Amino acid sequence: MTTYLQKCILLLGIIIFCSTSFGQPVEIIRHEQEYSTAQIEPVRYNGAPALAVHFRGTDDLHYYADPQSAPTPGLELKAAAEAQGVRFGQALFPEPEAFYDTSQQQNIDVYVGDFYLLLPIESYSKELQLVPVTVRLSSIACTSRLCLPPFEKTLNGEIDFSTLDTWPEVAFIPAATARADTQAVEKDDDLRSLGRSASETALMLLLALAAGLAFNVMPCVLPVLPLIVSRIVNIAKERPSRRIALGLTFCVGIAAFFMAMGVFSSVLRLTTGAVFNLSDPYRYATFDIIMVVFLVLFAMFMFDVLPLTLPSGLSGRTADAGTFGGSFGMGFLAAILSIPCSGAILAAVLIWVQTQPWLMGFWVFLLMGIGMALPYAVLVAAPNLLNRLPKPGGWMEQFKKTMGFALLLLAIKPLAALPKEQLAAVASFAVVAAFSAWMWGAWVSFSTPRGKKWLIRGAAVLIAVSAGLWLLPQKTDLIEWVDYDRGRIEDAVAHNRPVLIKFTADWCTNCKILEDRVFRDPQVAAALKEANILPVKADTTLADFPAAVDLQQIYGIPGTVPMTILLVPGHAEPIRLPGIYDKRDLFDAIQAVD
């Protein structure tokens, strides 16, 4: 009997069987268009009672059948059930399917799409009737492009043993080789600890330490190395007790960031069951914008455009507090800058940690912080080692400015994560923010009169805030524009539907003014919809774009934008609205449609 026929028979039996309901399928995981759900149903297997877990999903999202081919051992699909007075046996899995993994360059065994597994009921109390049951699933799901975070899901239902005789018999042939690592579990901690051993734990903790060490040579941290080295050199000149105290403060600053991440990860895991990935913040536009502006501003410090100075009297009086605060802040900053460059070691540790108890996750984060701080702790404890470092001098100033350009290059990463329509606005705001920061720091000195200082700095804040309010809000289109397509336009006109073509370009400032002034007006959107006008956005950013070619060849306009053209069926000539115009001009043109 083929696997396909087995599935059909089992599914037919489950559909017919309705005396015991387990509710709707539970969504296990989803990413964009890919998803997988699971539902439990009581069945009979070889005459004995069992639970069937029916998975439904898309054909690309898959679970691993073999622990050796999973991203990390222990992340293959596991299932276990528990109910009061019921003992379940080892989960029975179907024959896996072959899936070509491009990263491993080979076929691997997976479970994908629609499939099911069985949880045999080995024994139960005869007096049982309606019993709550819990099925726990754990695994990692991947597509052909990426792997999603590991998960643990719980399915709940009820077993009605009084209807045992009506449970459908299923034809199910389990995989030839039993999965030795899927023994039934009766406690939540047992499921969490599957695949974990003392040697594996020790290895992963060492990897966490190594990941922290590796952060110090990543491109994200290199730009601040001149500042870090300078601070260590200054610390080394202090008396031993103060040197050690300042050095520890710097190291604590590094560790504090990772401790905060560990606490957040643990709290998130305990309260929601979700897991935390250091790359998650980059999925949010607000965080990306903050990082772009922060990196640009920090580059300005590297270029000495933004000064960092204190008056001599003030620095003398606040040396103790300021230096300790600066040491802590420098360590914290170095840890923050390491995040975007987390490499393969960090990825492996994070994937493994998300399958472990929350306390293990906290220790792993802490060890990463300790690993990153370790080299600096050694240099502070043994300042003689500083003699082996290159001597401070002009080279450090050149290196610092070189790293300023590296920071600007690094700012491209969060900038590229933003939607296309936000790129220019965010880049512009970063420049304005840098200018405002320059005004704040460079246009005044400690001898500047208080009134003038407040005036200049108030103007700097006003410029930055005004630019942010104007540039940063993401604007939504009230009109459902369609991309330029000559054939679609001709078809619409042929079917007696008017067409409005908005010729625009990414580099066109007047086009953006027209967009805000006219096409984001609710009255304009309503008028176009009421007149059944097809709105077309024609992009002429590059000369070889179809819209740019047709603007000149078909409409006889030599590439001037903004240009709005209204095609009215029955009219020999289109209505042209060049440049920037008022919405009343557009309303007058729409009147021709009526």
Q: Which domains does the chain have, with CATH numbers?
A: 3-195 (2.60.40.1250), 199-286+309-399 (no CATH), 482-591 (3.40.30.10)
pLDDT tens, position by position, 155-167: 988 888 888 888 9
Buried b (16+ CB within 10 A) or exposed e, 250-261: bbbbbbbbbbeb
Buried b (16+ CB within 10 A) or exposed e, 28-41: bbebeebebebbbb
The Cα–Cα gap between 525 and 535 comes to 10
Task: Write out the DSSP string of 157-215.
Answer: EEEEGGGGGGSPEE-----SS--TT----SSHHHHHTTT--HHHHHHHHHHHHHHHHHH
pLDDT tens, position by position, 52-91: 999 999 988 899 988 877 776 678 899 999 998 899 998 9
- 317 pLDDT band (50/70/90 cuts)? very low
Q: Smallest Cα–Cα separation from 557: which of 569, 571, 540, 570?
A: 540
Q: Give percent of the chain above pLDDT 90.
A: 18
CA 361 to chain CA mean position, Å: 19
The Cα–Cα gap between 193 and 270 comes to 16
pLDDT at 230: 65
| Inter-CA distances, 370 with 222, 330, 331, 374, 569, Å | 18, 15, 11, 6, 72
> Crossing angle of helices 522-530/583-591, nearest 10°?
10
Of 2-16, 125-139, 310-324, 469-483, which one has max mean pLDDT? 125-139
| Inter-CA distances, 512 with 41, 434, 508, 509, Å | 57, 24, 7, 5
The Cα–Cα gap between 62 and 144 comes to 9
- Which H or E run includes 534? strand 534-539
Statement: residue 198 has pLDDT above 70: no
- 196 pLDDT band (50/70/90 cuts)? very low
Buried b (16+ CB within 10 A) or exposed e, 221-241: bbbbbbbbbebbbebbebeee
pLDDT at 182: 43
Radius of gyration of the chain (CA): 32
- 355 pLDDT band (50/70/90 cuts)? low
pLDDT at 104: 63
pLDDT at 350: 57
- Which H or E run includes 247? helix 240-272
- 410 pLDDT band (50/70/90 cuts)? confident
The Cα–Cα gap between 438 and 160 comes to 73
pLDDT at 294: 84
| 8 Å CB contact between 503 and 551 | yes
Among 38-42, 297-301, 342-346, the range scoring the smallest mean pLDDT is: 342-346
pLDDT tens, position by position, 423-450: 888 889 999 999 998 898 888 887 889 8
Instruction: Indicate yes or no: pTM above 0.85.
Output: no
The Cα–Cα gap between 276 and 350 comes to 9
Q: In the Cβ-directed half-sphere of 309, how many Cα atoms lie within 13 Å?
A: 13
The Cα–Cα gap between 485 and 488 comes to 5
| Residue 171 structure tokens | 């034809």
φ and ψ of 379, to 5 deg = -65, -40
Q: At a CB cut-off of 8 Å and minimum separation 6, what does 309 contact?
A: none
The Cα–Cα gap between 569 and 434 comes to 52
Among 49-53, 205-209, 228-232, the range scoring the smallest mean pLDDT is: 228-232
